[in-house]
Structure formats: C-alpha cells, structure tokens
Chain A
C-alpha cells in the first residue's frame, strides 16, 4: 500500500513529456500544472533555507526531517500540502506571507509497519504558530486516525497562537482539545515536544497519553519567564521554568526526556516497538531467589527484578525521574506487551505518596484503555504520613490509584515481593480489586502494619513488648495469613516468577470482564 508520496513523483515528472503528450491542454491547464509544482516545491522548504539553517543552528531538525526520521522510509503520505492560512489582516494576505501547507506538516505513515498519523509543527513558518488552517489540518488527521483506529503522534514546535488571527487561532486550539479528549482511550496519543510549546497550546500535550521532551531545546509553560517576572517578580529561566528537567523530575508533566532530536525520534520508534522476541517463556531467573534482603529494613532495586523477568531485559520506563518511589513502564512477556507497576523500595522505601499515586493511576488507566495486561510488583510499607501529604490531598490522590486498579478489566497479575502493609496492600492490585492472579514470594509480609507499630497498639502499656513483637512477626510477617484466606493464590519461588506470569498471560488472553454500564465513572480528580 505504501506507495511513495505522490507529491514527490509529480515534482519529478519531466516537463517535456507533459508538453509532448498533452498537446490539447489549454494554456490555463499548463499554468495550473506549473503552479502545482511550484507550490509543492515551496511546501517542501517551509519557511525557506535561511530559516532552515537557523533551525539547524539551534540544534533542531526541521518538521519534515523529523517526520522522515520517525517513519519508515518512503512510508509518509502527506495531506493538506496546499492548505494556506486565511488571514487578511496586518498584511498577512500578501503572497510573501503565504506558505503552502502553512506551519504544520500532516499525514500518515508507518513505524516498523504499524500505521500512525503524524503532525509536525514547522517552526520555520511563522515560528510554528497555530492558525485556523494549521488547527484544521491537525483536526483532519486526528479524525482520520479515530476512524481507522490508529495512534496519533504530535511533534510540537510552536511559538503559540497566530496572533494576527486572534480568536480564530483560539478556536483552533479548542477544536484540537476536543479531539484529544474524544480520542482519549480510543487511540493512543503521543506528544513529543521538540521546541517551545506555551500558553493554551500546552493543554493539547497534557491531554494526550504520553508527553516526551527533548532536553535543552524544548519548553512547556503556561506563561513565559517575562510574564512570570512581571506578575510574581520571580526570576526564572525558560529551562528552569519549563525545561525537560523540570517536567520530568519536578512537575511530572512529561513522561520522558531525550538528549536531542535524533535520539528522541529513534526512541519514539522504539517505544512503538514493544513487540515480539524469542526469550524463552519458561526461563528460570535464579538471581531472584536472593534479591530480597533478609532484613526487612534493607532496600533493593525493583528494577533488578523487572529487568530479570521481562523479555530481553528490555523495559521502557515511563517517568523514570519523577515520583521514583513507584516504577511504571512497558515491557514484553513472551512477545506480548505488558504494563508494569512496581513499588521501588530503593526510593523512600517504596511508599505511596501523592505523586506516585497519580503517576501509577494514570499509567494503569492507559493500560486498561488499550487492553494492555498489568503486572504489579508489590513492596509497599504504606502511604507516606505527614502534613505535607494530608494537606496536599493524599486521600484524594491515593484514591485515584485505588480507583484505577479497581476499575481495570485487563488481565491483572500481582506479585508481592515483600511488604504489603495496610491500605496500600489493598490498593496495589490486590485480590480484592479483582486481581486475576496474585502471588506472594516467600519473603512476603501481608499485614496491617509493621510488627513494632502493631504491638504498640495491641499491647498498649504492657511490659513484654519484645515478646509480643516476636509473636506478631511469627504470626503475620509472612505470606501465610494471606495465603490461608486465598488472598494470594500461591506462594512461589522467585526464580519461577517469569515462567508463571507467561503461563498466566496465555490463559488470561481470553479474559472478558465488563464494568456496569454507566455514562462515565467519577474518578476522584
């Protein structure tokens, strides 16, 4: 199907043959043909060579170079190359201010054979600003993507609204937002921020499933440093205010950042790539038998477990630098994509707090929306106490994760590696929230709380605390209380975890589960 873009073919058609074979063409036909060629050529160089050079100088690629690198060779089929803006104010109607295709390149193509719709904002044309026509082009491919059920990738590099167009530009943003919302949960949407993205424009990436950024050359903010200075008198650089580091480690707005344009696009291809491989599904992982330290106060790296279990040790982590006490990301098990959620004992003991709850909840809901099974590794000492958390609304935010796990109907497999304490045990894809398969490692402790705290409450004021503690540990600090009640299906050797998960996923491939009909649920926002 993927024939080369017809635009290129027609540009290359020799003029002479046209003349010879089409003698009956009228003069006007000829001029139309010439105009077509001229427009196509103009569209291909966007804002012109000077601006392209400037773009390169900033360490950025052009809109078309980006599309070419992102998609399989010769797979891009462009739409709306002839669309031009319709503004007639401020001299915009003049020919020199008209660019075929306006400030965005749109179309469809393939990534390793998989169909995607793409828009790539062209900073060389009016700084990539969003005109009515620009928005219309984006909306068109989003509608097409929805019709055929293909993902949408946006490559954002835009100075903001086309001020000359005023409210028309704002209307364009709203049109895109509406489509982002309508497409949410229907087709995956990914934004890669490759330049500025400011003002109202930021809400489109915010509505998509994943937002990736390029380090040092991309920014996301509601208002720039100048406005910040005039309103709040804060001195802040673009990078500090809305650079990749801020959004991947502080605000949690972006899910990943890459070194430069080329690496970002290559990694985006990889992200689309969670596909088959030949890692034996019955492979044992002996290293897992010793990974959980004997002392329950000692940390270990949950990533060690995840990498050892998944196919080819390949794990695409989402938000690796934000709320590091929870680990989320994609991997493959026996060739099939799975979503992985794990508490990270190495960071803040793997406790749940506001940020980690929100991070986890959003990821779980993405997986559920797109039928990706969820594998959860639990080592959680509880929710983080403190005024900062309570005032920040840990109750409300923690509920999101609980809500997400409970409503998810995709296959859910849970492995308790060590602690599963208190309410956090319930939250982390427990049996009670319709977990399909729940395992405990021999090191698991499912309990309301740690021994010391529990004993202080049960045996308040009694002398033999140490003895009572030992009794509590003997009774509760092990997998049996949960296993005898059927709250975990089995206690398994850690080294067999991969084998067991692969088998369960095979069986669960035909899982069907429906939530009660409703207009929509009311997740605590």
Chain B
C-alpha cells in the first residue's frame, strides 16, 4: 500500500520540480543586494551543503550557497515536498511526515540524507536542530562539518545558569541579585542597597511576575520583604526569596558577534528588538535609537569577551536588557544565526551566512573591528499569518491565494520561503516573511517600510500587517521611546486596527465611492465599446450612500476625466487613479498625495473591503435609490452553525484530531473522512473549545451525522 502511494507521488514530484524550475518566481530577487560582500571564487569551500531547515531561512542559506558556487541539499517533510526551499535546492530529500518531531527534528533521517547525498557540511538555520549539541556531535562523528559553533559553546551557552556564571567570570554585566533565605527585613535592605535601587523582590518559587514587588527605597524594601516572605511561606512552603535589580522600561538590545576558529572575534553592532508580544519579536531595527557610541562599544566589547571565553566560532548573538539609564545586563547568548540577522547585514554589508560557511571551513575572519561600519538604518517587520486583533496575534492558517512581495520598491528585502499557492499549515511557524527596509536614515527606512507594507499583497490568510503598520507609524515608536512593554502600554485594551480621523475617513469613503462608480461605468461597456450608442449623455454626477461601521454618509461625486471630486461630510476630496479592477493594488492620488490602497473584495450588493493605512475596512456603497429601498429590508440574525460539525458526506473516519477540551483555531483540522478513496479534511469554522466528540477513527458515518460539537 505504502509503496504504491509513494511512487506516483515521486513521479509527480519530478514533474513539478521540472516545471517549477522553468518559472522560478519563488526566490526573491533583490533589486539591490543588501550585503556588499564580494565572493571570492578562488577561495576553496565546501562542495555541497545540506540545510537542515525549512521555510525562509532554508531559502536564505541556499541563496548564499548559490552565490558561492556550493551545491545545496534541502530536506523536507512530505507536506513540504513542493515548498519553495525544496524546489530551490539542487537536491531535495524527504525526511518524514509533517510533524516536526518526525521530519525536521528526525536526526536519523537527516543523517541518512547527508550520507546519501554526500553533503560535506550542514547549515542548521535557526530553531529545529540549530542548538542541539547531540546533532552537532553526531555530525562530528561522521566527519561532517556543522556550520555553527562547536559543541562546547552550544552546551555552555545553552544552560541558563551556567551561561550566567561564565558571563560573570568574563566580566560581562549580569543582573545583580540574591537568591536564598533572607532572615530579617534589615538583611533584605542591606542586600537591596548592595544591588542598588530599584530592586524587585519576590518568592523564589513563584513563577513569572507573580507576587512581584518593586522597591525604590529602604522602606519599600522592608514592606516587600514582609509581603514576599509571608507569601513564600504560605503559598509555596519555601522560604527562599529572590531580590534582584529591577530593570525599568527594559529594552531588548542584542549584539551580533562573529568569531573564527583562530581566536578572533568581532562585534557587528546591535539590533534593537524591544517590540515584542508574548516574548516574541515583532519589529526589529539596527542600529538602536537608544545607544550612544560609548555604550555600544562597551556592549560590543563585553559580547566579544564572552565569545572568546567559550572559544566561540561562527555567528552568534549576545542578548542584553538595557534600562532607562543605559545600564545593560547580559540575558543569554544564542549560538546560531538569528531570525533578525538581515538588518545587521544591511548596515554592515556583510553576508553572515557566507561568513559562517567560511569560518566553518576554517578560514580566518577577513575583517578587523574597525572595518565594521554602521551604514544607514534597517528595519525588519515580521509578517505573520496571524490575527493581530486577538492578543496581538493568534495563528491563522490557509492557502495564499494571491501573494506579491513589494520587491518593486528599492531598498526592500523580503526573506520568505513561500509563494503564491503555498499553504500556511498548523505544523510549522506561521511566519510569512521578514520584510526588511533600508535607508540612509531611520526616517527613510521607516517611510519605505510604510510603502512596503501598503504594497504587500497577501490573500487567503489573516496577517498582521495592520499591527505592523500601526507600530511603525506610532509617535512613540518614531521617537524611539520604546520598551519591551510597548504593545501592552500602547494598546491596553488590545489592538483594534487603525482608528480613522475625520480626514482619513473622508478619504476612505471617497475612494470606495470612486471605485464603485468605476466598476459601474465599466459594466456599461463591452470589449471597449459602449453597449448602446444612443445612450443618454454619459452621466458624470452621482449621489451615493456609503455605510462605514454604524454610520451612513451621503456622498456627491462629480467625475471629470479620471478625477473624481467627492463631497462628503462637508469636505471635498479629490481622487484619481488608474483604476485597474483586475489588480489587487489600488494606487490612488487622494488630494494630490499618493496613497496605496488595496481592494480585498467587491460584490454585487455594494460591499467593498478596502485596505487603507494597513487596516481593512468594510464599506457598503449603494445608489440613493437602493439605499432608500434598503431601509425596508429586514435585519437578519445569522444562524450560528459554526458550533456543530456534521459529516458532509458518507464515509469512514480516518482520523480524529481533537478531543473534548482542546482549543481549535479557525481552519484547524478536526477530523478526516475517507470517501470514494479520498481523504476529506473537515476544519473548524471558528476558534473554539471542543465540547464533545461523537466519532472515532474507523467509524462509518452518514451524511449529516453529528461529529463534533464546539462551545
């Protein structure tokens, strides 16, 4: 059975790969290469590298390999067999089924792939096996080079406690603190004074920020001591207290280091990654607005000291927390290529992947510390398939029915591993791409980021562009006044999308009305000709009703040539554009300013969904008559059938992927029914908790049978 299902797949795979190569639109071609590295073709390097990763980072590594003339091997799971990284590589090997534990983390299968393809080195990307010392050991045992630091450094930096001890020994600033039994309040005050105010006091056993007290002076320390020691004893039965330096308005700033196997190490400046949600970075930039050259140098030097202390080689990142007084404290060291490495490449001109490969091959670093520049400014937005309106981003899945990266703009780099038609599945990270913009100054880079976000076409999955665009245009972000608490501070009630002002609201209404009229006028034509030669004088004045949210507006529109003059809410808006109804992008000139809108959908009932200033707005445009008659139409309460999943066809249950109490995401697979020898996946219509499951694998179900109830 298995044999028979495999061979037609392979057969088609060959076909697809063949054709894909003919029209390879998958790999992003940079208008302007953002690392100025000159690849030296005479420098001997590896002949073949296997990339033990997927998605954008696999593509990123393959790109550099191609430039260096190195053959590449991709590994992929079965669902990824037509993924971009698998098609881009010279060879692709399937290493198992979709779940990562069975494919991308499957060391046996990957070792097999290395043996069969004869790869001399492995680039692990980030995540998966990149910081797995076991994997590095197994590679070493077979004489395959691991492109990364050696196992000693991975191990040393992988352990939180050990890494702090090493850092302390290497004279790297660590967060001063005390963890142990404190007998009296005065003892607590003494500790606090040693550390220096402000300090944080809590029970050691309490997780996270639970029961945390912040003290700015001796009195508050005494109070905090009483409170915390009581709680420690009563809640946890564990007397130990943690007194630690409290970092107010902490910023997350990290230093990129690069070291070779000959004891040389460089720091490649910093990246500021303070904009985070649930400890995941969202927007990063390099350099940081906050560091002065003295602090930068101090941080860089400490990072290099740490790297040297563990005989680090390859690229690595030393993460620091920086307080409002520019005191910085070591957090941890990541012994791999970071997700946000492109911004460092932009400002230094170095290709970090190339450097990693060179170092792994045993070469010395080509650069000296004084060769490392800060050229301009780079911003990275992580574009995720996520609903930003739910806790700043809950994963969404689906098929990218339309997808265009804004590569028509200069100084834009998009690192992605997907293309139009790709599936964003539940198995892997929901990141769509890393959108990087570059400019001579920060404001240039920010302006370009706005353009790039407006020009980015993503259809088929919910994405976080609304949030990204709001962040990079927020006054606090622009002024550089940020911390890791930025999102909860700026949006205490959650993110609600762009809030329209009176003028932007008018612009949106006018654009929707103009689009509606364009479509109406187009309908009167057939293959370029007016359908009725004797039609009455072409209309050039309209009165329309436009609904946006709860409000209704009456618009008066006059058309002259390609320009619509719209009177709305006592103001006048002039809209003109090329009006290409087939294009998802809607480049308009509104009151002589260029704006890029996107038309997400348009239907016969007058509903138009426009993306404007990053956020999508639904409007309804009706002629005056239709609006008048529409007032007679009854309001309908939509029937809620989303809580019940019934079998759409008779068949056999192959798999049930949920159990009562599980939380399913919208679009997540609930069960699979086999009918007509075909597997049909049934998915959740909304995000909900599973109430009850009425079927099990192997059951025969009829059409309309109740399968699963959601809450």
On A, residues with C-beta under 8 Å from B are 1-2, 56, 59-61, 65, 68-69, 73-74, 110, 112-114, 215-216, 259-263, 266-267, 269-271, 273, 275-280, 284-291, 294-299, 304, 307-308, 311-312, 335-336, 345-349, 351, 381, 384, 442-443, 445, 450-452, 466, 469-470, 473-474, 477-478, 493, 495
The 8 A CB mask of B515-529 against A (1 = contact, 0 = none) is 000000011111110
* Contact of A348 with B675 in the complex, beta carbons under 8 Å: yes
Interface 9-residue window, one of B29-37, B137-145, B289-297, B530-538:
B530-538
B633-664 residues at the A interface, CB under 8 angstroms: 633-634, 636, 648-649
B1-9, B261-269, B502-510: which lies at the interface: B1-9
Stretch at the interface among B148-156, B249-257, B321-329, B417-425: B417-425
Report the nearest B residue to A472, measured CB to CB. Answer: B4
Q: Which of B34-89 contact A (CB under 8 A)?
A: 78, 81-82
- Stretch with Cβ within 8 A of A (4 or more), from B165-173, B369-377, B677-685: B677-685
Q: Point out the residue from B525, B532, B626, B629 that lies within 8 Å of A110, measured CB to CB.
A: B532
B409 at interface (Cβ–Cβ under 8 A)? no
**Nearest B residue to A450, CB-CB:** B677
CB of A289 within 8 A of CB of B421, answer yes
> Are the C-beta atoms of A284 and B23 separated by less than 8 Å?
yes
Beyond the given A2-B535, A348-B649, A451-B8, could you list 18 further A-B residue pairs with CB under 8 A, ordered by the A residue number? A112-B523, A278-B581, A286-B23, A287-B402, A296-B8, A297-B678, A298-B679, A304-B399, A311-B582, A312-B581, A347-B648, A349-B677, A442-B12, A443-B12, A443-B15, A452-B4, A452-B677, A478-B8
User: In the complex, what's the smallest C-beta–C-beta distance from B17 to chain A, in angstroms?
Assistant: 10
Q: A267-B605, A450-B677 are in contact. Are A473 and B4 (CB under 8 A)?
A: yes
Enumerate chain B residues within 8 angstroms of A280, measured Cβ to Cβ: 582
Residues on the B chain within 8 Å of A73, using CB: 625
Q: Can you name the residue of chain A whose Cβ is closest to the Cβ of B400?
A: A287
Chain A residues with Cβ below 8 Å from B532 are 1-2, 110, 113
Bound Cα distance A260, B630 (Å): 9
Which residues of the other chain, B, contact A290 by a CB distance below 8 angstroms? Answer: 16, 82, 419, 421-422
Interface size on B, residues (CB 8 A): 69
Contacts of A477 in B (CB 8 A): 8, 11
Question: Is the CB of B194 closer than 8 A to any CB of chain A?
Answer: no
Given known A270-B604, A307-B401, A312-B582, contact A59–B633 (CB-CB < 8 A): yes
List of A residues within 8 angstroms of B531 by Cβ: 112-114
Given the complex, which residues of B lie within 8 Å of A285, measured CB to CB?
A: 420
Contacts of B15 on A, CB cut-off 8 Å?
442-443
Please tell me if the beta carbons of A266 and B605 are within 8 angstroms of each other in the complex. Answer: yes
Decide yes or no whether B179 CB sits under 8 A from chain A: no
B528 to chain A, nearest CB (A): 7
Q: What's the Cα separation between A153 and B19 when bound, in Å?
A: 48
Min Cβ gap A293→B in Å is 9
The residue in chain A whose Cβ has the minimal distance to the Cβ of B4 is A469
Is B580 part of the binding interface, using a Cβ–Cβ cutoff of 8 Å? yes
In the complex, the chain A residue whose C-beta lies closest to that of B15 is: A442
**B535 neighbours in A (Cβ, 8 Å):** 2, 113
**With contact pairs A69-B629, A275-B526 given, residues A298 and B25 touching in the complex (Cβ less than 8 Å):** no
Nearest CB of chain A from residue B630's CB, rounded to whole Å: 5
The 3 closest A-B pairs by CB, nearest first: A287-B421, A270-B604, A349-B676
Query: B420 touching A287 by the CB < 8 A rule?
Result: yes
Which residues of B lie under 8 Å from residue A114 when comparing CB positions? Answer: 531
A270 / chain B contacts, CB cutoff of 8 Å = 603-604
Closest to A308 in B: B401
Instruction: Give every chain B residue within 8 A of A336 (Cβ-Cβ).
Output: 527
Q: How far is the CB of A423 from chain B (nearest CB, A)?
A: 15
Interchain CB contact under 8 A, B525 and A275: yes
- Which among A2, A346, A469 is the interface contact of B680 at CB below 8 angstroms? A346
Cβ of A495 to closest chain B Cβ, rounded Å:
6
* A335–B529 alpha-carbon span in the complex (Å): 12
Quick one: which of B7, B528, B530, B629 contacts A113, CB cutoff 8 A? Answer: B530
Q: Can you list 7 residue pairs at the A/B interface with Cβ under 8 Å?
A: A215-B636, A263-B605, A276-B522, A294-B8, A299-B680, A336-B527, A493-B23
CB of B606 closer than 8 Å to a CB of A: yes
Min distance, Cβ A382 to any Cβ of chain B, angstroms: 8
A279 vs B582: C-alpha distance when bound (angstroms): 5
Query: Would you call B427 an interface residue if the criterion is a C-beta within 8 Å of the partner chain's C-beta atoms?
Result: no
B356: shortest Cβ distance to chain A, in Å?
31
A-contacting residues, B518-575, CB 8 Å: 522-528, 530-532, 534-536
A275 to B580, CA, bound (A): 15
CA distance A114 to B633 in the complex (A): 27
In the complex, chain B residues whose CB is within 8 Å of the CB of A65: 629
| B677 and A295 contact, CB distance less than 8 A | no
| Contact partner, B421, options A260, A288, A349, Cβ 8 Å | A288
Q: Which residues of the partner chain B approach A262 to less than 8 Å between Cβ atoms?
A: 605, 622, 626, 629-630, 633
Residues 657 to 704 of chain B near chain A (Cβ within 8 Å): 674-681
Which of A267, A299, A312 touches B678 (beta carbons < 8 Å)?
Answer: A299
Q: Which residues of B contact A493 (CB under 8 A)?
A: 19, 22-23
CA distance A74 to B535 in the complex (A): 11
Known A-B contacts A69-B625, A69-B629; the reply to A478 vs B11 at CB < 8 A is yes
CB distance from A492 to the nearest CB of B (A): 9
| B706 lies within 8 A of chain A by Cβ | no
- B residues less than 8 Å from A259 (CB atoms): 605, 633, 636
- B5 proximity list for chain A (CB < 8 A): 295-297
CA distance A297 to B421 in the complex (A): 19
> Would you call B20 an interface residue if the criterion is a C-beta within 8 Å of the partner chain's C-beta atoms?
yes
Q: A442 near B16 (CB under 8 angstroms)?
A: yes
Q: Let me know if B632 is at the binding interface, CB within 8 A.
A: yes
Chain B residue contacts of A345, Cβ below 8 A: 678
Q: How far is the CA of A440 from the CA of B92 in the complex (A)?
A: 26
The answer to whether residues A56 and B649 also contact, given A278-B581, A381-B677 and a CB cut-off of 8 A, is: no
